[in-house]
Amino acid sequence: MSQSPAPDILRCAYMEIVVTDLAASRKFYVDTLGLVVTYEDENAIYLRTYEEFIHHNLILRKGPVAAVAAFSYRVRSPQDLDLAEEFYRARGCEVRRNPNGFVRGIGDSVRVQDPLGFPYEFFYEVEHRPRLAWSYDIHIPGALVRLDHFNQITPDVPRAVAYMENLGFRTTEDIRDSEGTVYAAWMRRKPTVHDTAMTGGDGPRMHHIAFATHEKHNIIAICDKLGALRESDRIERGPGRHGVSNAFYLYLRDPDGHRVEIYTQDYYTGDPDNPLVSWDVHDNQRRDWWGTPVVPSWYRDGSRVLDLDGEPVPLVERREESELAQTIGADGFSYTRPDDGESMPEWKQGEYKLGNQL
């Protein structure tokens, strides 16, 4: 099985999501976040970031149930599609190929339901569109310049990591405990911290899609704009600084509850011996470098994913410890200083006890 060589994946390229109210989603992604419309009709909107030159980074498709229809990766050459087919057939997965593409702007493509249950797509052929990097006359204060990564929820993180490493991904960071349980792992093809991450939980579900800005103030501008629009309740978590990835972040929820991260300034990971960074699940600076507690919905919620026939994929429950329980739940604890154990300033204990009551 592991003999079938992996396709040479360049990067995460786009996500296709199903939204229930296309107008509401357009308002969020186009009017508020400022993604650029490459194409739209009454059923779908194709969007890209300012620095993208391929046709799209996000498709909003109207449908009855909010879900993810495809996590799509670009490969290095047309021949890699044959490798993708073989790779997944060897793993007993459902595989479909469409020489004309499953969506607009994309040519010959392979879609699979992968071993974890996710709808993955691979393509090389794609229409080009103008890269708007220099079009500062149309940039907004919160300009989204690149698609950065996906994040997926899956019950068995080590199994997911093993599969993805066979697919050619490398792990850059992870969250573990002293018992050996792995709670999450970050995996990359392009030399950033990740093209996708595997987050432990009932799955398959999509945790979030992340777009990059150039600077931190761009992310703050998005928050400020949401406040001005009286849409601040779209902000789920942040802005803050991640421990994992060292990036500055913000999490939003779109009108269907799909989670969108805005992200900036992680680091170069392209060397083969790039050091793995492992975080202790009890380190409360792992997910937020400033120790800001993660809200429960962030751990809890995710978007369902669709199989190749468009049906929701059934969930498999996570059997191992949940990160939520380990750190802010009933039995959980976390620390700021490793040797302090649970100590924290007296004034702060009220809030943390509260965390324990969730």
In the region spanning residues 223 to 242, those forming contacts with its own copies, defined by CB under 8 A, are: 223-236, 239, 241
x/- letters, 110..139, toward its own copies (CB under 8 A): ------------------x--x-xxxxxxx
x/- letters, 307..346, toward its own copies (CB under 8 A): -----------------------------xx------xxx
Told to check if 253 binds its own copies by CB under 8 A, we report yes
Stretch that binds its own copies, among 101-109, 110-118, 219-227, 306-314 (CB under 8 A): 219-227
φ, ψ (nearest 5 deg) of residue 213:
-110, 170
What distance in Å separates the CA atoms of residue 341 and residue 356, rounded to the nearest whole number? 15
Site for its own copies, residues 132 to 191, rule: CB under 8 A = 133-141, 143, 145-146, 190-191
Distance in Å, CB of 109 to its own copies, minimum: 16
Distance in Å, CB of 159 to its own copies, minimum: 28
Distance in Å, CB of 255 to its own copies, minimum: 9
Alpha carbon 212 to its chain's center: 12
> Residue 235 or 316: which CB sits closer to its own copies?
235
Distance in Å, CB of 216 to its own copies, minimum: 6
What distance in Å separates the CA atoms of residue 315 and residue 306, rounded to the nearest whole number? 11
- State how far the alpha carbon of 263 is from the alpha carbons of 77, 214, 248, 357, in Å: 29, 9, 6, 31
Distance in Å, CB of 104 to its own copies, minimum: 18
- State how far the alpha carbon of 98 is from the alpha carbons of 95, 107, 137, 350, in Å: 10, 8, 38, 57
Binder of its own copies out of 93, 96, 159, 289 (CB under 8 A)? 289
- The closest alpha carbon to 212, from 250, 263, 167, 178, belongs to 263
Distance in Å, CB of 281 to its own copies, minimum: 17
> Residue 73 or 87: which CB sits closer to its own copies?
73
Residues in contact with 230: Cβ distance below 8 Å, sequence separation at least 6, in sequence order: none
What distance in Å separates the CA atoms of residue 49 and residue 34, rounded to the nearest whole number? 8
What distance in Å separates the CA atoms of residue 120 and residue 168, rounded to the nearest whole number? 14
Stretch that binds its own copies, among 105-113, 156-164, 282-290, 309-317 (CB under 8 A): 282-290
Question: Torsion angle, CA of 259/261/267/268, rounded to 10 degrees?
Answer: 60
> Residue 113 or 124: which CB sits closer to its own copies?
124
Residue whose token pair is 């974890």: 116
> Residue 76 or 89: which CB sits closer to its own copies?
76
Partnered with residue 31 across adjacent β-strands are none
Applying CB under 8 A, the site for its own copies has a residue count of 83
Told to check if 194 binds its own copies by CB under 8 A, we report no
Task: Quickly count: other Cβ atoms within 10 Å of residue 221's Cβ.
Answer: 17
> Residue 156 or 173: which CB sits closer to its own copies?
173
What distance in Å separates the CA atoms of residue 118 and residue 152, rounded to the nearest whole number? 9
Distance in Å, CB of 90 to its own copies, minimum: 26
Distance in Å, CB of 16 to its own copies, minimum: 19
Residue whose token pair is 């793993």: 91
> Residue 89 or 337: which CB sits closer to its own copies?
337
> Residue 11 or 96: which CB sits closer to its own copies?
11
φ, ψ (nearest 5 deg) of residue 38:
-85, -40
> Residue 45 or 145: which CB sits closer to its own copies?
145
Residues in contact with 73: Cβ distance below 8 Å, sequence separation at least 6, in sequence order: 9, 10, 11, 12, 13, 120, 121, 122, 123, 189, 195
Site for its own copies, residues 71 to 110, rule: CB under 8 A = 74, 76-77
> Residue 89 or 217: which CB sits closer to its own copies?
217
> Residue 146 or 318: which CB sits closer to its own copies?
146
Instruction: Write the DSSP assignment of 212-278 as a string of letters.
Output: E-SSHHHHHHHHHHHHHTT-GGGEEEEEEE-STT--EEEEEE-TT--EEEEEE------STTPPPEE
